[in-house]
Structure 1
């Protein structure tokens, strides 16, 4: 009987993770498609403009995930405990919270796009391209954030396959529209950002199939104590926000440091690596988010053995991904770089090639760190989740990249990321062991 239960849990885990990893990889292609088409259509200046503007997307995405992941975690716990009315109120609160928070980004687009473009370091020939990309992304913040929220809730409401389909529909439409807008229509950077911004709208249209179905548990119900409820779900999703927002802060910091060391060519090389990194990270994020409904449900029902097994499955899978991904990138780095190096710039290729070999060693540890942070949110240990997210996002990485870049130049820039993830992974292992020890006593 136990073997049957284990097999059933593992099969369910694989289903949720497979759907979510596939969807997240597709979602990450939003920016990768922009990178590829902009590099080919607009050259190094376009690639530099994209890399300067894209950190703002991390803040939008992170804020949406904070409301979505925090709300969906609480939703699953409440559903497992039989509190269906409370679960519906949580869904309503998450949607309202996302829309309210998104208004700040829209306001920034209307009133501060030029100031923000200058603040990000854009100047000269890349200023206007950066400003256009930035403004449109900010104006579409409500769509991006609402899409994140609904994706999380639909997945937790028993439809991981539809969540995957929605993410893929948005991503594939972005790739097709990117090509059409940039090349046949000649719309340049404006076409690229419009293609990206329409993707969450298309994704939401697919997700509406679940919202309108008779088996959906996602109905609106007037929330009680909305400010307190909103603060509670945001605290559970805080680690997701920190991971994404810190990614934006780190990109801004890397851009400034690399500009001072290698100029626009260095930023273009980092743009290739950063966007490849987004795709690879999405695999671990997909594994973590695919595990989240099972972890939250097991926690709500008090099944500690199931929590342990799901966490073990997720970490083991992530480590397997890490070895495979690094091996493939090490072997295929030159063909991959050439996709973004339309002008066959040898200096750009050499810099990006060295960066891939050094920077991507971090992914031996990234999966464990992302999964552990989500794990602690699911078992309502928000403080430990927050600590891990802060360590890998700000507390360690920013000081290390500044120090190591001064000591070792570009080599130090590339190695600061693996050093951060290694130290965070050591902390994650300690935290998890202490948690399991506490559960046994």
Structure 2
């Protein structure tokens, strides 16, 4: 794969550059998603369907804490991309050092609190009945590895901001592959059950961290830190916080969504409905990997060229990214509409789960072709450093539309109302994003180019 440097982000053709950035990102997301997918299949067949539900209870909690690292990474990487575009290398270094300091302070503190209130947290997120005990086992062990995961997420975004998508891809692939190998050893061969699943996940996070540490210490990285860079700078911290809060808020809303969904579905359909949601959730992570890859590839291109005042290239990157992502989303939609039963049977042999899940899956992915606009539109505002519109658009789907819908529609349509909420919120959030993105292009990019 051709090498991409920070300078190339402002020079190479946008379509070619987007492919170079998006393909490694997509492969990394694919492998990571396959890891989650296959991990769920292993757990479902080697431990049982209740174990799938148990992991689904824990994921939003652990991912929220890890998202502190990702939010700091994304917020800081937006600054780094624009700083590199403006040839301000000292600001890029100071930002990176501040990112690491902030990530360690926040994630370690959150893990301590998470372990102290483990029982209450698990119950709040729907870990009830037969789900509670396996969920607690998984929760306590995985939380030990979450600070490493947070640093991995942070490092991955910075690697991509440097214009090194190939290494960012490796950083996503390494923990995924190691987790699957450890799953096979600890769950299947050694029969450690939920303990095996949890330790496989935690150890894989540590392995990923070791790789990312090696990258930044090696000659491959342009960002060589000194101790002075780790001292917090108030202006940089504020900028990281304002931009990173977008990502953190999104993950917070995702975690709240899991909280509502698991509890509502448990009340309406018991463990079967929670398991069905867990399977659909895995497909949401896996099936859309190429669309997420395009979004990840788009971020440094838009940020760098905006920082370099190449507004024509920024507009071209928006149009190209939306076009590519829409085509890929449509292909995903076709496959999921055609084969939901076969997909469900990959995860479990539970007859009730197999009966319920395909219909739920069709509802969830009903308007998938239009989500490209929503994802790229929200990402654009984050890439150029406009935190407020980025935050509002990022929260629009789940925060402003989806959560109210799942609280209202089940009162009229029962469990069907839960699944109807997915396509309705997708349509509404896409319309809102399209309006604000079009206004921004006309007012800023076109006006500044003329």
Provide the TM-score with structure 2 as the length reference.
Answer: 0.92
Whether the 8 Å contact between 2:78 and 2:303 is mirrored in structure 1 is yes
Instruction: Please give the residue correspondences for 1:170-249 in structure 2 after superposition, counting only pairs within 5 Å.
Output: 170-221=175-226, 222-223=228-229, 225-249=232-256
Q: Which residue is equivalent to 1:357?
A: 362
Q: Deviations over 1:365-402 (max 9, x none)?
A: 33322221111011222111111112112121111011
Task: State the match for 2:95 in structure 1.
Answer: 90
Greater shift in the superposed pair: 71-80 or 117-126:
117-126
Asked if the contact 1:285/1:371 (under 8 Å) is kept, the reply is no
Structure 1: how far apart are the matches of 2:349 and 2:185?
Answer: 19
Distance between the aligned counterparts of 1:362 and 1:401, measured in 2? 17
Tell me how far apart the structure 2 counterparts of residues 415 and 380 of structure 1 sit (CA, whole Å): 34
Aligned Cα RMSD in Å? 1.8
Count of residue pairs the alignment pairs up: 435
1:394/1:79 Cα in 2 relative to 1: closer, same or farther (>3 Å)? same
2:329 to 299, 309, 322: 322
Give CA-to-partner distance per residue, 1:169-206, whole Å, 9 cap, x none: 11111111112211111111111121112222222233
Does 1:289 pair with 2:289?
Answer: no
Please give the alpha-carbon distance, in whole angstroms, between the structure 2 residues aligned to 1:188 and 1:67: 34
Structure 1 residue aligned with 2:19, among 6, 10, 14? 14
Q: Which runs of 5+ in 1 are unaligned?
A: none
Unaligned runs of 5+ in 2: 1-9
Q: Taking structure 1 as reference, are residues 61 and 418 closer, same or farther at Cα in structure 2, changes over 3 Å only?
A: farther
2:121 maps to what in 1? 116
> Which of 260, 269, 274 is residue 267 of structure 2 equivalent to?
260
Distance, in Å, in 1 between the alignment partners of 2:38 and 2:220 is 35
Q: Is the 1:239–1:374 contact (alpha carbons within 8 Å) kept by the matching residues of 2?
A: no
Please give the alpha-carbon distance, in whole angstroms, between the structure 2 residues aligned to 1:240 and 1:367.
18
SS at match of 2:385: coil
Distance in 2 of aligned mates of 1:22 and 1:233: 27
Matches of 1:290 and 1:81, distance apart in 2: 20
Pick from 143, 163, 176 the counterpart of residue 138 of structure 1: 143
Separation in 2, partners of 1:366, 1:405: 24
Distance in 1 between residues matched to 2:259 and 2:290, nearest whole Å: 23
- The corresponding residue for 1:156 is 161
Against the structure 1 CA distance between its residues 355 and 124, is the aligned structure 2 distance closer, same or farther, given a 3 Å change threshold? closer
On the 8 A contact 2:78/2:384 being kept in 1, the answer is no
Map of 1:400 onto structure 2:
405
State the partner residue of 2:80. 75
Shift in Å, 1:122: 1.8
